């Protein structure tokens, strides 16, 4: 079966300009040649520290940013070349859930208008709009009466549910969840994750789930992609990644998850290098606890170590 989404060698460089003539002096390589696919009904998580390029990938998929090069295929169609009008049709099938549920909702609009606006833009449920908004609110665990209330009258978790209802309104096939629980209390995070899982089963949704640590994605992901400085360093099925991590960066991220049993924490030295001047060779060599001299000479290519488990490191 063909993938729902296929990202092929996608790159996004942002120019750094200086002076009154805005001369380009450098390019920030936010995403530097990454490829992956997503199946129908699958959740693929993109994980890495801030600045690794995961949010840029999300925006490229939705065409909120134009790629520097590479291609994105959605349902077999190359959407990176579509014009605005053609992209509008596709965009209804792809929705985003934002990190900040308050900032992403218009504080002057009632909940009914926020969700109704999504229906209007895509000309959906014209003759039964009120009924459909009620249905959507119930689907995400809210009362129908919420229709008359404003975003500030809800808790963070409830506001995220409103954001999810708005995304569901247009009957998407792909949802990009950009750190949807990181602004919420820990007690609420599990409720939102469970809701997303329920919705996935009910509507056969596919998710790209963005997170900055591995603690939150284990129970929601089918596969996990680890990103570092604009590149994929490891990609594997969730079980495999958590039980048999190979890349030193993945091991460091896993060691940071709090557990009951004592586990040695791998503390990475130094900061993430400047993405406009990434280190030569393996991009992780400046922080890698087991780097060898040759690691700074050539960049390791991704290698499939076992079926579906890719790693970019000279040790494999």
Using CB under 6 A, list all residues that contact ligand SF4: 247-248, 282, 284-285, 288, 290-292, 295, 300, 313-315
Q: What is the DSSP letter of 21?
A: T
Using CA atoms, how far apart are residues 44 and 22, in angstroms rounded to an integer? Answer: 39
> Minimum distance from CB of 264 to ligand SF4 (Å)?
18
Using CA atoms, how far apart are residues 156 and 162, in angstroms rounded to an integer? Answer: 10
> Minimum distance from CB of 291 to ligand SF4 (Å)?
4
Quick one: which H or E segment has residue 226? strand 223-228
Choice between 150 and 314, CB closer to ligand SF4: 314
Q: Within the chain, where are the H helices? A: 54-61, 84-91, 111-121, 129-139, 156-168, 186-203, 238-243, 248-255
Using CA atoms, how far apart are residues 261 and 23, in angstroms rounded to an integer? Answer: 54
Choice between 109 and 296, CB closer to ligand SF4: 296
Q: Which residue in the block uniquely carries the two structure tokens 């014009």? A: 83
Among 225, 315, 213, 168, smallest CA distance to 42 is for 225
> Minimum distance from CB of 310 to ligand SF4 (Å)?
13
Q: Dihedral of the CA atoms 192, 196, 202, 208 (nearest 10)?
A: 170
> Minimum distance from CB of 48 to ligand SF4 (Å)?
14
Choice between 6 and 251, CB closer to ligand SF4: 251
β 206-211/223-228 pair status: unpaired
Choice between 136 and 236, CB closer to ligand SF4: 236
Choice between 72 and 288, CB closer to ligand SF4: 288
> Minimum distance from CB of 49 to ligand SF4 (Å)?
15
Quote the tokens at residue 283. Answer: 């991009």
Choice between 161 and 285, CB closer to ligand SF4: 285
Could you give the C-alpha distances from 5 to 79, 122, 131, 172, 230, in angstroms and in order?
10, 22, 32, 13, 19
Using CA atoms, how far apart are residues 21 and 87, in angstroms rounded to an integer? Answer: 33
> Minimum distance from CB of 286 to ligand SF4 (Å)?
8
Quote the tokens at residue 307. Answer: 């079926």
> Minimum distance from CB of 248 to ligand SF4 (Å)?
5
Cβ neighbours, 10 Å, residue 137: 21
Choice between 47 and 147, CB closer to ligand SF4: 47
> Minimum distance from CB of 300 to ligand SF4 (Å)?
5
β 206-211/174-178 pair status: parallel
Using CA atoms, how far apart are residues 202 and 120, in angstroms rounded to an integer? Answer: 24
Choice between 62 and 268, CB closer to ligand SF4: 268
């Amino acid at each position: 079966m063909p993938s729902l989404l296929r990202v092929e060698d996608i790159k996004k460089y942002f120019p750094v300009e200086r002076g009154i003539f805005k001369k380009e002096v450098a390019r920030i390589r936010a995403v530097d040649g990454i490829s992956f696919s997503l199946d129908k009904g699958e959740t693929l998580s993109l994980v890495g520290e801030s600045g690794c390029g995961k949010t840029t990938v999300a925006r490229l998929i939705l065409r909120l940013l134009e790629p520097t090069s590479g291609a994105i295929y959605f349902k077999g169609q190359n959407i990176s070349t579509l014009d605005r009008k053609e992209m509008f049709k596709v965009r209804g099938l792809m929705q985003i859930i934002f990190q900040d549920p308050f900032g992403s909702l218009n504080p002057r609009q009632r909940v009914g208008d926020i969700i109704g606006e999504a229906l209007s833009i895509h000309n959906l449920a014209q003759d039964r709009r009120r009924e459909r908004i009620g249905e959507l609110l119930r689907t995400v665990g809210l009362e129908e009466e919420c229709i008359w209330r404003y975003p500030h009258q809800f808790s963070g978790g409830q506001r995220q549910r409103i954001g999810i209802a708005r995304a569901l309104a247009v009957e998407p096939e792909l949802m990009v969840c950009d750190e949807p629980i990181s602004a919420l209390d820990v007690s609420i995070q599990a409720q939102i994750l469970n809701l997303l899982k329920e919705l996935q089963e009910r509507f056969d949704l596919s998710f790209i789930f963005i997170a900055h640590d591995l603690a939150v994605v284990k129970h929601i992901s089918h596969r996990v992609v680890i990103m570092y400085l604009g590149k994929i360093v490891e990609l594997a099925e969730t079980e495999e990644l958590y039980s048999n991590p190979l890349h030193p960066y993945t091991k460091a991220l896993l060691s940071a998850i709090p557990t009951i049993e004592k586990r040695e924490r791998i503390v990475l030295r130094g900061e993430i290098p400047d993405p406009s001047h990434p280190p030569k060779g393996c991009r992780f060599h400046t922080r890698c606890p087991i780097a060898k001299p040759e690691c700074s000479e050539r960049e390791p290519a991704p290698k499939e170590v076992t079926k579906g488990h890719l790693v970019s490191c000279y040790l494999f």
